[in-house]
């Protein structure tokens, strides 16, 4: 597979930075240019060797690029696509690391209509509550999954090359339809985050919040970890995947109302069944997974 000459990161944070580091270690890239709005973050990325050059000008950086990774919150991607459109070399693969895919597919169609052959939307499943270039690390994608949701128009060679690059980062690559992707990730990623935000807000409503936080232990720690995630990123995800997310949140609310009713009725048998169904499924998942 052809080595990448110039990789441009539009957004130089955890995902973009770790992608660059992994490709560098695999010897798959010559030069990495990091674009971003926060000069201190770019400086840090240069110091850490995540990028070789920094720029605040996406259009200038895009000129001569062989691969561009949009690794900002999804809400910024449309404007970035517009900015880079006139400067793209015809062969330059454009991909992204967004957590929602139907909206990014629509952005590619709207803003890069003449470049669709080389556009391949993607989603590396390596979330973290950390962000910024300082969080980037070698091996973030080792053993992780990357889902690509190619466009109808994506050229097989572009899909194959991007697949090979993610594999060089140590990832297992899957291809699926963008709608299927968004339905799955609403259920196992977006809604857990939103439920965790709602839980924290309900907790903060309590008059004895300080005592509560004082005695919060490991159950709280793990359950609420994702509530510390990046607000703008998760706001964008919630809005971008609105339909699937709202349907799933409604399902959760209705299951919680059922639980309240069982507890209030003191229905020991039904309550046991309710908890056992959840517990058995979670234990079985844990036994099955081969996750890092």
Q: Which residues in 88-147 contact a copy of itself (CB under 8 A)?
A: 125-128, 144-145, 147
Task: Please state, in angstroms and rounded to a whole number, the distance separating the CA atoms of residues 202 and 199.
Answer: 5
Q: Which stretch binds a copy of itself (CB under 8 A): 57-65, 113-121, 135-143, 235-243?
A: 235-243
Cβ nearer to a copy of itself, comparing 3 with 255: 255
* Start-to-end CA span in the chain (Å): 27
Cβ nearer to a copy of itself, comparing 19 with 185: 185
Concatenating the DSSP letter of every residue in 204-260 gives HTSTTHHHHHHH--HHHHHHHGGGGS-HHHHHHHHHHTHHHHHHHHHHHHHHHHHHH
Cβ nearer to a copy of itself, comparing 157 with 201: 201
Give min distance, CB of 87 to a copy of itself, in A: 29
* Candidate list 72, 102, 154, 189; residue touching a copy of itself; CB under 8 A: 189
- Per CB under 8 A, contacts with a copy of itself among 255-284 are 255-260, 263-264, 266, 268, 271-272, 274-279, 281-283
Cβ nearer to a copy of itself, comparing 49 with 251: 251
Bridge partners, 122 (sequence order): 148
Percent helix, strand and coil across the chain, each to the nearest 5: 60, 15, 30
Q: Are 102 and 182 in contact (CB under 8 A)?
A: yes
Give min distance, CB of 153 to a copy of itself, in A: 25
Cβ nearer to a copy of itself, comparing 155 with 184: 184
Largest CA distance in the chain: 68
* Candidate list 47, 57, 177, 180; residue touching a copy of itself; CB under 8 A: 180
- Per CB under 8 A, contacts with a copy of itself among 207-226 are 208, 211-213, 215-226
Per the structure block, which two tokens stand in for 173? 């690559």
57 binds a copy of itself (CB under 8 A): no
Q: Which stretch binds a copy of itself (CB under 8 A): 47-55, 133-141, 154-162, 236-244?
A: 236-244
For residues 250-267, one letter each, b for 16 or more C-beta atoms within 10 angstroms of the residue's C-beta and e for the rest, the string is: eeeeeeeeeeeebeeeee
- Per CB under 8 A, contacts with a copy of itself among 4-23 are none
Give min distance, CB of 187 to a copy of itself, in A: 5
Q: At what angle do helices 191-204 and 242-265 cross, to 10 degrees?
A: 50
Cβ nearer to a copy of itself, comparing 31 with 252: 252
Cβ nearer to a copy of itself, comparing 165 with 226: 226
Cβ nearer to a copy of itself, comparing 40 with 255: 255
3-state secondary structure of 97: coil
- Per CB under 8 A, contacts with a copy of itself among 146-175 are 147
How many residues form the binding site for a copy of itself (CB under 8 A)?
Answer: 92
Q: Which stretch binds a copy of itself (CB under 8 A): 49-57, 59-67, 157-165, 245-253?
A: 245-253
Of 149, 150, 139, 227, the closest CA to residue 184 belongs to 149
Strands 145-148 and 122-125: antiparallel
Q: Are 108 and 151 in contact (CB under 8 A)?
A: yes
3-state secondary structure of 72: coil
């Amino acid at each position: 597979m052809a080595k990448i000459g110039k990789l441009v990161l539009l957004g130089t944070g955890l995902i973009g930075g770790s992608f660059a580091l992994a490709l560098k270690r695999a010897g798959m890239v010559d030069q990495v240019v990091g674009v971003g709005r926060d000069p201190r973050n770019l400086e840090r990325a240069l110091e850490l060797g995540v990028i070789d050059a920094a720029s605040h000008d996406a259009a200038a950086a895009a000129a001569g690029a062989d691969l561009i990774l949009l690794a900002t919150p999804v809400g910024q991607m449309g404007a970035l696509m517009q900015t880079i459109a006139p400067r793209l070399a015809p062969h330059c693969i454009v991909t992204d690391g967004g957590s929602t895919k139907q909206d990014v597919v629509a952005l590619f169609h709207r803003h890069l209509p003449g470049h669709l052959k080389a556009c391949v939307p993607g989603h590396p499943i390596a979330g973290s509550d950390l962000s910024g270039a300082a969080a980037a690390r070698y091996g973030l994608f080792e053993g992780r999954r990357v889902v690509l949701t190619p466009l109808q128009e994506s050229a097989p060679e572009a899909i194959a090359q991007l697949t090979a690059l993610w594999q060089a980062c140590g990832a297992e690559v899957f291809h699926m339809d963008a709608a299927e992707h968004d339905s799955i990730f609403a259920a196992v990623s977006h809604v857990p985050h939103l439920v965790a935000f709602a839980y924290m807000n309900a907790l903060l409503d309590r008059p004895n919040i300080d005592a509560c936080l004082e005695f919060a232990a490991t159950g709280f720690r793990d359950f609420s970890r994702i509530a510390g995630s990046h607000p703008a990123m998760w706001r964008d995800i919630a809005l971008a995947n609105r339909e699937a997310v709202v349907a799933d949140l409604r399902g959760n609310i209705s299951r919680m109302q059922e639980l309240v009713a069982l507890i209030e009725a003191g229905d020991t048998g039904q309550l046991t069944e309710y908890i056992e169904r959840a517990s058995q499924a979670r234990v079985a998942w844990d036994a099955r997974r081969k996750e890092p």
